[in-house]
Copies of this chain bind each other. A is one copy, B any other.
């Protein structure tokens, strides 16, 4: 683990580029004074912002590029136009070259995944990346993955997700043997998809030194905090995440509208406001901003494209924590006991760099 933690930032990523990235970095640096930054992007836009961000100015260097990936570019186009020279690619490249320990981008998710996979390559035994998020629960925080990196998963990929997610939980939640549940549905005739049932068998039967397999969970278990890690393929995971976010926003709007409608309640609102603020804080997407791309030979963090400076700072914080607690080594440990190795040794060779 390096003494200084070196963070590569795609300064042009997200809906607002450097105007969010630089102040976000300033907030995160205040919490992590031993971080060093490399900012990739348009120097003419970045440098004026440094004047208002003295910590960033002192702890960073700027690497200029005029090429930025647009939020709505298809990954194929992004790759054609931005490979080797875009701010996103250069941030990933810094991780590849060991000049940085982690890359953080609020840019186009598809482009970030494709570039990361192409340049950093997958870890031995893992065939494609996943995105893991932190999900606020009644008990604290759980890790949910995959929330949209790829659609569909066979049993082996689900087992990999379990291993990688539990490694991330060890880092973030500070538990030695996180509990892991497989997302399933409980109301249908034959319970669940074949890959989910098969993954359950793998997780139940193999010895996993760093996780504890709990069993199936349903989507309403996520918010209860029934398990530390919830594993699912990316389509269902993304739908769970968006449905929860949508419901939280919906309830917020209902409450605001109802309180506005009633004079008596307006008075009540004044009294109840601290409680609302506390709940809003707990459910605030910014507080759990930062999806971790897992399965790569390197750490890449995806911030929400519309994140505020505070949200982007949290994404940097997560990257920092992942490096400091050596996520990659913990994933390696977890995958070392991966049944994928035992049962299909060919996989461990594979695409490893």
Chain A residues proximal to chain B, CB less than 8 Å: 75, 109-110, 113-114, 137-138, 148-152, 183, 185, 187-190, 192-193, 218-224, 232, 234-236, 238-251, 253-255, 258-259, 261-262, 264-265, 267-276, 278-279, 282-283
Residues of B within 8 A of A241 (CB): 219, 243
B contact residues around A113 at 8 Å (CB): 188-189
Which residues of B are found within 8 Å of A234, using beta-carbon distances?
Answer: 185, 188
- Which residue of B has the minimal Cβ distance to A194? B151
Q: Which of B236, B254, B258 lies in contact with A236, CB distance below 8 A?
A: B236
Q: What CA separation (Å) do A293 and B141 show in the bound complex?
A: 36
Complex: A20 Cα to B243 Cα, angstroms = 31
Min distance, Cβ A319 to any Cβ of chain B, angstroms: 19
Tell me, in angstroms, the Cα distance from A185 to B152 when the chains sit together: 12
B219 touches A243 (CB 8 A): yes
Q: Which of B75, B218, B238 is close to A219, meaning CB atoms less than 8 Å apart? A: B238
- Further 15 A-B residue pairs, CB within 8 A, beyond A223-B246, A259-B275: A110-B187, A110-B188, A113-B189, A151-B190, A183-B239, A185-B239, A187-B238, A218-B239, A223-B243, A236-B239, A239-B240, A248-B251, A251-B251, A251-B283, A255-B279
Question: How far is it, in angstroms, between the C-alpha of A109 and the C-alpha of B185 when the chains are bound?
Answer: 12
User: What 6 pairs across the A-B complex have the smallest Cβ distances?
Assistant: A268-B271, A220-B246, A268-B272, A219-B242, A258-B275, A223-B250
B278 touches A258 (CB 8 A): yes
Q: Cβ of B262 and Cβ of A275 under 8 Å apart?
A: yes
Distance in angstroms between the alpha carbons of A274 and B260 in the assembled complex: 12
Out of B75, B187, B222, B247, name the residue touching A223 (CB < 8 Å). B247
Residue of B nearest to A74 (CB): B189
Beta-carbon nearest neighbor of A226 in chain B: B246
Interface centre among A114, A150, A239, by most chain B C-beta atoms within 10 angstroms, is: A239
Give the shortest distance, in Å, between A216 (CB) and chain B (any CB). Answer: 12
Residue of B nearest to A242 (CB): B219
Please indicate the chain B residues that have their CB under 8 angstroms from the CB of A149 in the complex: 188
Cβ distance A139 to chain B, nearest Cβ, rounded Å = 10
Is B238 within 8 A of A220, CB to CB?
no
A118 to B232, CA, bound (A): 32
The residues of B that contact A187 with a CB separation of less than 8 Å are: 109-110, 148, 238
A236, chain B: closest CB distance, angstroms: 5
Q: Which of A138, A241, A272 has the most CB of B within 10 A?
A: A272
Bound state CA distance, A238 and B150, in angstroms? 20
Query: Which residue of the partner chain, among B150, B264, B272, B282, contacts A269 with CB atoms under 8 Å?
Result: B272
* A131: min CB distance to chain B, Å: 8
Task: Report yes or no: B272 in contact with A246, Cβ–Cβ below 8 A.
Answer: no
* Cβ-defined contact, B246 with A221, below 8 A: yes
Contacts of A190 in B (CB 8 A): 151
Given contacts A220-B243, A239-B240, contact A268 B273 (CB under 8 A): yes
